[in-house]
């Protein structure tokens, strides 16, 4: 079975081609619909290209980035179609702040805390490889109003990325002195503090943080495992997640109650995602792969992307689609899995996903909308308090 995975531009373009061919054959009445009320317009982005919503914090501030579609061979910009523009915006579409810096080609915000500190990664024009599209990233931090940009890249590193920030604040991410490596770290000014012994754990990255712990994904050259790094005593504790599950998995979020969510994949059983929840208090792992009938569709795969302090979980549910694909739909459930909701807006029949949820019940995601023989990609915010 082929899976729909909206993870990069190549996959998205392939999906768009499929959807458009299906619409052209069936003359679907949704070919040219209006944007739903949940869509948040981003200045400078018309939906053609890639939109990546990243996070919504408890002040309802949103960070993300977009990459416009290519303008054509006559464009004067040598980085045409490759620039990634960071932004901050309020949940109601007001207060747009561009997060781009001079001479940067790529500006990717990766996280922000409730005080408005933003962290991420950037690529400069000087070190961007236009032909190979493979360039080292540099970690940064900045304020929510676009001021006080700080380059956090260690002088001895080949690449670095700041992926998480707590309210302490502690800025976490990874770096490497080589092209292939990765060491989970805390950024401290222009230096880093390793969170693991890189001689023992050859690969490590931060997957999720709360105010007490950082959850690390590691590889020792033989097996993959998860650890919890405790901020106060700087200790590491192995999580009780079997290496066979950890191997094909990711943890996306952990709330302050110690409930972590993510996904795993067991290709020997199914191509569908398996929802994963881990309770750090009792070391209990729950894998969720139930079939659910929602609105006349059967959902068979789940990717949990975020959990708030009310233990509401949001992310992606997958259902079989035309042509043997698995289609992503924005979903909502709770810690006990009492029910699964498809919260895709009425015209999101191409694909939709939720990526972040705050304690106010505001969920952040994106969807594809068919318009005049093309697919446009829009960011959306849904209030899930009514579910």
Q: Is the pLDDT of residue 4 over 60?
A: no
SS3 call for 322: helix
Looking at the chain, the whole-number percentage of residues with pLDDT higher than 70 is 89
Nearest Cα residue to 98 out of 52, 39, 137, 44: 44
Q: How far apart are CA 256 and CA 268, in angstroms?
A: 34
CA dihedral of 371, 375, 381, 384, whole degrees rounded to 10: 90
- CA-angle at 238, arms to 356 and 225, nearest 5°: 70
- Cis check for the bond before 169: say yes or no (omega within 30 of 0): yes
pLDDT in tens, 354-370: 999 999 999 999 999 88
d(CA 259, CA 304): 12
| Average pLDDT along the chain | 89
Q: How many CB atoms lie within 10 A of CB 48?
A: 14
**φ, ψ (nearest 5 deg) of residue 242:** -55, 145
What would the pLDDT profile of 231-281 be if each residue is shown by its tens digit?
999 999 999 999 999 999 999 999 999 999 999 998 777 778 999 999 999
pLDDT tens across 30-89, in order? 456 788 999 999 999 989 999 999 999 999 999 999 999 866 555 677 787 789 999 999
Least confident range of 2-16, 103-117, 150-164, 324-338:
2-16
DSSP secondary structure, 99-148, as one string: ---TTEEEEEEEEE-TT-EEEEEEEESTT--TTT-----EEEEEETTS--
Residues with Cβ within 8 Å of 8's Cβ and at least 6 positions away in sequence, in order, are: none
301-307 and 312-320 strand pairing:
antiparallel
Q: Which long-range contacts (CB under 8 A, 24 or more apart) does 23-26 make?
A: 23/370, 23/373, 24/373
The predicted-structure confidence for 99-129, as pLDDT tens digits, reads as follows: 999 999 999 999 999 999 999 999 999 988 8
Q: Is pLDDT above 90 for 221?
A: yes
**pLDDT category of residue 198 using cuts at 50, 70 and 90:** very high
**Closest to 299 in 3D by CA, of 278, 324, 316:** 316
Helix or strand run (H / E) with residue 14: helix 9-26
Cβ contact 111:129 at 8 Å: no
Kindly provide the b/e burial profile for residues 326-335, where b requires at least 16 CB atoms within 10 angstroms of the residue's own CB.
Answer: bbbbbbbbeb
């Amino acid at each position: 079975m082929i899976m729909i995975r909206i993870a990069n531009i190549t996959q998205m373009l392939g999906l768009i081609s499929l959807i458009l061919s299906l619409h052209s054959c069936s003359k679907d009445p949704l070919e040219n619909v209006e944007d739903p009320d949940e869509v948040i317009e981003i200045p400078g982005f018309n939906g053609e290209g890639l939109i990546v919503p990243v996070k919504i914090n408890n002040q309802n501030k949103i960070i993300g980035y977009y990459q416009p579609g290519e303008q054509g061979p006559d464009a004067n910009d040598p980085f045409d179609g490759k620039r990634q523009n960071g932004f901050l915006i309020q949940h109601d579409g007001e207060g747009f702040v561009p997060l781009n810096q001079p001479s940067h080609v790529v500006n990717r915000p990766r996280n922000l805390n409730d005080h408005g500190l933003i962290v991420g990664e950037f690529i400069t024009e000087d070190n961007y490889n236009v032909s190979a599209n493979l360039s080292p990233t540099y970690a940064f931090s900045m304020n929510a109003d676009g001021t006080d940009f700080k380059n956090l890249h260690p002088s001895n590193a080949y690449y670095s990325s700041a992926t998480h920030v707590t309210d302490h604040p502690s800025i976490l991410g990874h770096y490497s002195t080589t092209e292939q490596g990765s060491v989970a770290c805390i950024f401290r000014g222009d230096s880093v503090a390793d969170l693991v012994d890189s001689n023992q754990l050859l690969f490590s990255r931060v997957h999720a943080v709360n105010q007490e712990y950082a959850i690390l994904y590691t590889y020792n050259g033989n097996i993959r495992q998860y650890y919890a790094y405790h901020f106060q005593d700087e200790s590491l504790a192995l999580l009780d997640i079997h290496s066979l599950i950890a191997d094909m998995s990711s943890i996306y979020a952990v709330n302050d109650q110690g409930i972590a969510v993510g996904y795993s994949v067991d290709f020997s059983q199914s191509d569908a995602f398996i929802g994963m929840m881990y309770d750090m208090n009792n070391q209990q792992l729950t894998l969720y792969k139930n079939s659910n009938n929602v609105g006349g569709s059967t959902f068979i795969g789940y990717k949990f992307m975020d959990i708030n302090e009310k233990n509401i979980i949001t992310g992606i549910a997958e259902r079989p689609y035309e042509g043997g694909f698995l289609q992503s739909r924005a979903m909502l459930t709770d810690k006990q899995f009492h029910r699964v909701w498809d919260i895709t807006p009425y015209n999101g029949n191409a694909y939709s996903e939720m990526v972040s949820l705050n304690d106010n019940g505001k969920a952040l995601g994106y969807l594809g909308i068919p318009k005049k023989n093309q697919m446009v990609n829009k960011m959306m915010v849904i209030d899930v308090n009514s579910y």
